[in-house]
């Protein structure tokens, strides 16, 4: 039996942070979208997410500030520590001081809580679950979307917010994710299981030779990401592999006891390969355009994946609304011109920061530590950005990374 093709004006592929933020931003400008998500339920993916001021200011403007603030933890500080001694190399207050400096709060929040808030603000009737995209083809009057369940949609405009393995991106660009040569272990530990942890409410980086550990509070727990150099090659295009028993603890055996306590408090996770996605030559093709990780997946060392996606959503919604129903070419061109330089700058900064955090002790690490003590120089251009007031923001070369 042949299913009828459904006609829609705007189809958003992906019901994650980017897709739902875009849908809400479009609605705020008087436009309605249909969101198609491959999962049959909006489950938690990843333990937590850090929403910096460049993301939280946009979510506040969408009317979600109170709900997200109630579910989030505001860190007390951003600290960088020596891997073995635990000495605080740099210490920057967050909380109210951060909000005053950058014009919006910093939130540590469960990814599931953020996604739930976004989905509840959206219409359940316009969120189509269990719709895994199988094919994209151009038509004279739109884009034909074919889903694995056999249903088809003809959309006047398509936004691919479907992540690093985007099916929409395959329609636009043939490039694939690039392995960074680093990998990570993730975990969520109850705070009361960490009696030795100093400043448990602070965002903390422990920096050392060949690795680093990031952790921050989320609710009554501490979320961590432990990153190591290697392996030299990754066995899969992306995703994770099972690690040998005790591999994580062995890699950090010489680190400060607090680090060992944190990493040993929960069972070892799989080992995640850390990938980046080169920005394609073009972010759009015909009536289809990319958003977030589908356009510019980056390493997590600035915590900016979700934030840049939220920025994209705000700018793209404005460009589409300003251009009108048939102005997709001008809308997509303007969107790409506004977003590409910033996305590439943050991608590069995240890559370079990975190397900087893994330096052995010595003169180069001392220079890095001195730069880390100046927050505005290398961090301000990211967190202080407001894409609705200043659409493009890239740093002077010297300020891109520590």
Write out pLDDT tens, residues 2-17. 578 899 999 999 999 9
**pLDDT higher at 205 or 238:** 205
| Catalytic choice (80, 98, 179, 216) | 216
Helix 305-323 to helix 53-61 angle (10° resolution) is 40
Beta bridge pairs of residue 158: 11, 288
Write out pLDDT tens, residues 229-242. 999 999 876 688 89
State phi, psi for 154 to the nearest 5 degrees.
-105, 115
Residue 94 contacts residue 203 (beta carbons within 8 Å): yes
Write out pLDDT tens, residues 292-301. 999 999 998 8
User: Which helix (H) or strand (E) segment is 330 a member of?
Assistant: helix 328-357
pLDDT score recorded for residue 392: 56
Mean pLDDT on 264-274: 95
Indicate if the pLDDT at residue 376 is higher than 80: no
pLDDT score recorded for residue 381: 87
**pLDDT higher at 388 or 91:** 91
pLDDT score recorded for residue 303: 84
pLDDT score recorded for residue 271: 95
Indicate if the pLDDT at residue 45 is higher than 60: no
Confidence of residue 119 (pLDDT cuts 50, 70, 90): very high
The CA-based angle 22-25-26, given to 5 degrees, is 85
216 belongs to the catalytic site: yes
Indicate if the pLDDT at residue 84 is higher than 50: yes
pLDDT score recorded for residue 374: 80
Of 276, 211, 210, the residue nearest 237 (C-alpha): 276
Length of the chain: 402
Q: What is the dihedral of CA 36, 37, 38, 43, to 10 degrees?
A: -160
pLDDT score recorded for residue 239: 81
Indicate if the pLDDT at residue 394 is higher than 70: no
Confidence of residue 396 (pLDDT cuts 50, 70, 90): very low
Indicate if the pLDDT at residue 178 is higher than 90: no
3-state secondary structure of 296: helix
Of 26, 20, 18, the residue nearest 10 (C-alpha): 26
3-state secondary structure of 45: coil
Indicate if the pLDDT at residue 380 is higher than 90: no
Mean pLDDT on 249-259: 97
Write out pLDDT tens, residues 53-83. 999 999 999 999 999 999 999 999 999 999 9
Going from the C-alpha of 148 to that of each of 24, 102, 117, 126, 256, the distances in angstroms are 26, 44, 28, 19, 50
Mean pLDDT of all residues belonging to the chain: 91
> How many Å apart are CA 134 and CA 222, to the nearest integer?
38
Beta bridge pairs of residue 77: 93
Indicate if the pLDDT at residue 390 is higher than 80: no
Residue 39 contacts residue 129 (beta carbons within 8 Å): yes
């Amino acid at each position: 039996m042949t299913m009828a093709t459904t006609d829609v004006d705007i189809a958003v592929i992906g019901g994650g942070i980017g897709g739902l933020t875009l849908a809400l931003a479009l609605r705020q400008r008087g436009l309605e979208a249909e969101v198609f998500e491959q999962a049959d339920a909006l489950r938690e993916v990843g333990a937590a997410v850090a929403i910096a001021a460049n993301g939280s200011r946009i979510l506040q403007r969408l009317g979600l500030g109170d709900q997200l603030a109630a579910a989030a933890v505001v860190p007390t500080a951003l600290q960088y520590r020596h891997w073995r001694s635990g000495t605080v190399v740099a210490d920057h207050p967050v909380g109210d001081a951060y909000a005053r400096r950058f014009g919006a709060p910093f939130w540590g929040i469960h990814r599931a809580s953020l996604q739930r808030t976004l989905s509840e603000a959206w219409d359940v009737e316009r969120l189509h679950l269990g719709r895994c995209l199988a094919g994209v083809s151009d038509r004279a009057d739109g884009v034909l979307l074919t889903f694995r369940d056999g249903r088809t949609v003809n959309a006047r405009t398509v936004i691919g917010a479907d992540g690093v393995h985007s099916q929409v991106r395959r329609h636009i660009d043939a490039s694939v994710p690039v392995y960074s040569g680093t990998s990570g272990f993730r975990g969520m530990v109850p705070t009361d299981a960490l009696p030795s942890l100093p400043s448990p409410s602070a965002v903390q980086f422990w920096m050392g030779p060949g690795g680093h550990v990031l952790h921050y509070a989320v609710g009554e727990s501490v979320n961590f990401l432990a990153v190591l150099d290697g392996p030299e090659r990754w066995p899969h295009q992306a995703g994770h592999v099972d690690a040998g028993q005790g591999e994580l603890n062995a890699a950090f055996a010489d680190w400060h006891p607090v680090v060992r306590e944190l990493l040993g408090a929960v069972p070892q996770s799989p080992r995640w390969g850390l990938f980046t996605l080169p920005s394609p030559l073009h972010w759009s093709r015909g009536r289809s355009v990319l958003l977030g990780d589908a356009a510019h997946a980056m390493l997590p060392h600035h915590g900016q994946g979700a934030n840049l996606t939220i920025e994209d959503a705000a700018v793209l919604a404005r460009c589409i609304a300003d251009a009108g129903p048939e102005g997709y070419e001008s809308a997509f061109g303007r969107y790409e011109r506004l977003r590409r330089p910033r996305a590439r700058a943050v991608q590069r900064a995240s890559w370079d920061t990975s190397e900087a955090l893994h330096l052995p002790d010595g003169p180069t690490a001392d220079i890095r530590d001195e730069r880390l003590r100046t927050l505005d120089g290398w961090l301000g251009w990211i967190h202080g950005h407001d894409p609705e007031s200043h659409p493009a923001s890239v740093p002077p070369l010297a300020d891109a990374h520590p």
